[in-house]
């Protein structure tokens, strides 16, 4: 919850050159970089892309401590696939980890320099408004849901719901907690539906309007991603 709130705050209050670029150009940049990471089978190429992304994050004054913590998650979950690939060669295993971390850095750069409203606004140009609204509601509900999970875990520990070396009791308590969260999530969705119905919601919360003009820096930012993709394909 803390990291999600911090990312939300950084993306909205940030005032770097990258923050001030148009959301469209930053999303195009992220798309081309992601394609570059996916199609590349070279540690050198992916490592170079990662260094570029870290450099942009530093230039954008994004706290590397926050970035480092968030990158640990994909790195950890990719270890299973990396260990399988390491049976073929150690390099293939490293490539799996590098791709996971590189993709994570790419998305972190996007969400820490672009507010979620701007991202959904761009998506509304290509996706149905109802679908974009669902994404928006899910994003906001995620904060509430995670907060409820944290409070529930604290309550379980304070009331002795977690017992060391007692796996069956812990599984029983966790299953009960999951059931409670499912009920809470259903209740929350019903209340949210009622609130928006009373306020006359008929689909399409976000309307497209962009005050910023596509400037030279936007073209240069997109051009960098095109050059990186071309370099990965050619070399």
> Are residues 10 and 62 in contact, defined by beta-carbon separation less than 8 angstroms?
yes
Mean local confidence (pLDDT), 105-127: 88
Helix (H, G, I), strand (E, B) or coil at 217: helix
pLDDT tens-place string over residues 10-58: 888 888 999 999 999 999 999 999 999 999 999 999 999 999 999 999 9
> Are residues 105 and 54 in contact, defined by beta-carbon separation less than 8 angstroms?
yes
What pTM does this model have? 0.76
Distance CA 12, CA 115 (A): 5
pLDDT band at residue 99 under the 50/70/90 scheme? very high
Task: Work out the percent of the chain whose per-residue pLDDT is above 70.
Answer: 86
Chain-centroid distance of CA 89 in Å reads 30
pLDDT tens-place string over residues 68-94: 888 888 888 888 888 888 888 888 899
Say which residue the tokens 């497209």 belong to: 208
Question: Quick one: tokens of 125?
Answer: 């140009």
CB atoms within 10 A of CB 114: 24
Could you give the angle at the alpha carbon of 216 between the alpha carbons of 211 and 221, nearest 5°?
Answer: 95
Distance CA 107, CA 127 (A): 20
Question: Quick one: tokens of 143?
Answer: 């904060």
Residue 97 reports pLDDT greater than 80? yes
Q: Any idea what DSSP says for residue 100?
A: H
Distance CA 64, CA 210 (A): 30
């Amino acid at each position: 919850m803390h990291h999600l709130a911090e990312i939300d705050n950084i993306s909205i209050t940030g005032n770097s050159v990258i923050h001030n670029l148009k959301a469209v150009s930053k999303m195009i940049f992220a798309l081309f970089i992601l394609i570059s990471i996916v199609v590349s089978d070279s540690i050198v190429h992916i490592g170079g892309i990662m260094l570029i992304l870290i450099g942009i994050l530093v230039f954008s004054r994004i706290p590397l401590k926050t970035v480092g913590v968030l990158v640990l998650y994909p790195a950890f979950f990719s270890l299973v696939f990396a260990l399988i690939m390491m049976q073929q060669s150690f390099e293939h295993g490293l490539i799996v980890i590098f791709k996971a971390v590189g993709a994570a850095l790419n998305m972190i750069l996007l969400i820490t320099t672009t507010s979620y409203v701007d991202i959904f606004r761009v998506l509304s140009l290509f996706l149905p408004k109802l679908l974009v609204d669902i994404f928006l509601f899910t994003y906001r509900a995620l904060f509430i849901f995670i907060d409820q999970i944290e409070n529930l875990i604290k309550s379980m520990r304070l009331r002795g719901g977690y017992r060391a070396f007692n796996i069956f009791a812990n599984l029983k308590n966790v299953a009960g907690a999951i059931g409670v969260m499912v009920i809470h999530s259903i209740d929350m969705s019903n209340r949210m539906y009622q609130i928006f119905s009373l306020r006359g919601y008929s689909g399409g919360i976000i309307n497209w309007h962009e005050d910023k003009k596509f400037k030279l820096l936007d073209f240069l930012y997109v051009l960098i991603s095109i050059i990186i993709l071309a370099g990965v394909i050619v070399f």
